Amino acid sequence: MEHLVCEEVNQLRQDARSVVRELGLLNDAYFEIGVTLAERHLLIELNTCQAPTMGEIAERLLLDKSTISRLVAKAVKKGYVTCFSDAHDKRKKFLSLSERGKSVLEAFEPIAFTQTREALLMLSQGQVETVYRGVSLYAEGLKRARLQDRQKADALPAKVESLPEITEQLLSHGYLLEVFDSKDETGLYEIFQEVVSSGSQFIIENASLEEFRKQFFTDHLYVCRSSSGDVVGGFYIKPNYSGRASHIANAAYMVRTSHRGKGLGALLVKASLHLAKGLGFEAMQFNMVLSENRIALRLYKKLGFTIVGTIPDAVRTLDGGHQEGYIMYRKLGESYE
């Protein structure tokens, strides 16, 4: 569609503006009900899902964190929405439609329905079908452009600064988490060699530098350094699949043997979950956790992963036998305690 000319783009923009004005969407409050457009979208979404979190609603409405917080705070103040905490984790907040919210929804929904119905009644059957198809295609185009922009942003490493709590916890243990730099290669490669040679933690058999680069050099590679500057661990995050399943992330972690059992692995997994969420992923999946890798299994379960599939005799053991491989999965949320 390189041939698109300015006039064509502007024509669609002008028509879209006319639709917005005709629908009365420029009014702060919807007719006399006093509900804004953003509030209407919020109430409609809350009516279709059960007690979602603030993050889930933000994702549905395509809003950033601060905008959704302001919107929800205003809706709570107006009595449309109630906000309650998880019984076990006070930081996790759920939203639901209040009785007042329900009655406001019942007031504006028929107005919007009638407005649309009356507009469609002015058109022939063929024209109505063209409207359905045209609006749906325009929405699809906007969505594709948004996802493409996100993919471009995903190609940059997510910022470690976005994790103040974890960074602080790591610092209190004397560790610093940073985006991988070429000077970290030797240190991280040493850990890779340790892990591969154990024969029971990764399925990888080849411990060459080339294999290390092939496995670990992704767009989002992080290292953890000790106070003396040595690389003591690291992890990568990448899409587990491509195309329509690119919203599920995959990651792999390694901690230097001499630094294991001190809580570093748990902090790295938590950091990766936050970073993956920040990159726009919706879930995390590991494709082959070895049944003999009890430490990793225990750690992942503790951080909310469940085994969603077992592959029998998936991996050869060093003694010539076999072990199972587990597919582990968790959705990405707000906190990971």
Ligand X SMILES: CC(C)(COP(=O)(O)OP(=O)(O)OC[C@H]1O[C@@H](n2cnc3c(N)ncnc32)[C@H](O)[C@@H]1OP(=O)(O)O)[C@@H](O)C(=O)NCCC(=O)NCCS
Which residue in the set 261, 306, 308, 335 belongs to the binding site for ligand X (CB under 6 A)?
Answer: 261
Min CB(195)–ligand X separation in Å: 5
Residue given tokens 């430490």 in the structure block: 295
Min CB(49)–ligand X separation in Å: 33
260 binds ligand X (CB under 6 A): yes
226 binds ligand X (CB under 6 A): no
Chain Cα centroid distance, residue 324: 29
Secondary structure (DSSP) of 229-278: S-EEEEEEEEESS-GGGTTEEEEEEEE-GGGTTSSHHHHHHHHHHHHHHH
* Secondary structure of residue 328 in the 3-state scheme: strand
**Would you give the binding string for ligand X spanning residues 148-187, x where CB under 6 A is met?**
----------------------------------------
Query: For ligand X, which is the closer residue by CB, 175 or 281?
Result: 175
Q: Which of residues 285-304 bind ligand X (CB under 6 A)?
A: 286, 289, 293, 295-296, 298-299, 302
25 binds ligand X (CB under 6 A): no
Query: For ligand X, which is the closer residue by CB, 44 or 288?
Result: 288
CA atoms within 13 A on the CB side of 308: 11
Q: Which of residues 301-330 bind ligand X (CB under 6 A)?
A: 302
Min CB(201)–ligand X separation in Å: 3
* Secondary structure of residue 325 in the 3-state scheme: strand
Give the full edge-to-edge strand order of the sheet including 306-316: 176-179, 220-225, 231-239, 248-255, 283-290, 322-331, 306-316
Query: For ligand X, which is the closer residue by CB, 134 or 263?
Result: 263
Query: For ligand X, which is the closer residue by CB, 286 or 336?
Result: 286
Q: With CB under 6 A, what is the number of residues at the site for ligand X?
A: 21
Spatial distance between the Cα atoms of 293 and 316, rounded to a whole number of angstroms: 13
81 binds ligand X (CB under 6 A): no
Tokens of 31: 């007719």
Query: For ligand X, which is the closer residue by CB, 159 or 302?
Result: 302
Residue 95's identity, in one-letter code, is: L
Spatial distance between the Cα atoms of 31 and 24, rounded to a whole number of angstroms: 8
Min CB(271)–ligand X separation in Å: 12
- 24 Cβ contact list (under 8 Å, min separation 6): 30, 31
CB-based contact 235:215 (threshold 8 Å): no
Diameter of the chain by CA atoms?
77
Which residue in the set 57, 63, 68, 195 belongs to the binding site for ligand X (CB under 6 A)?
Answer: 195
Which residue in the set 236, 253, 329, 336 belongs to the binding site for ligand X (CB under 6 A)?
Answer: 253
Min CB(173)–ligand X separation in Å: 10
Instruction: Tell me which residue has its CB nearest to ligand X.
Output: 265
Interacting residues with ligand X (CB under 6 A): 195, 201, 252-255, 260-266, 286, 289, 293, 295-296, 298-299, 302
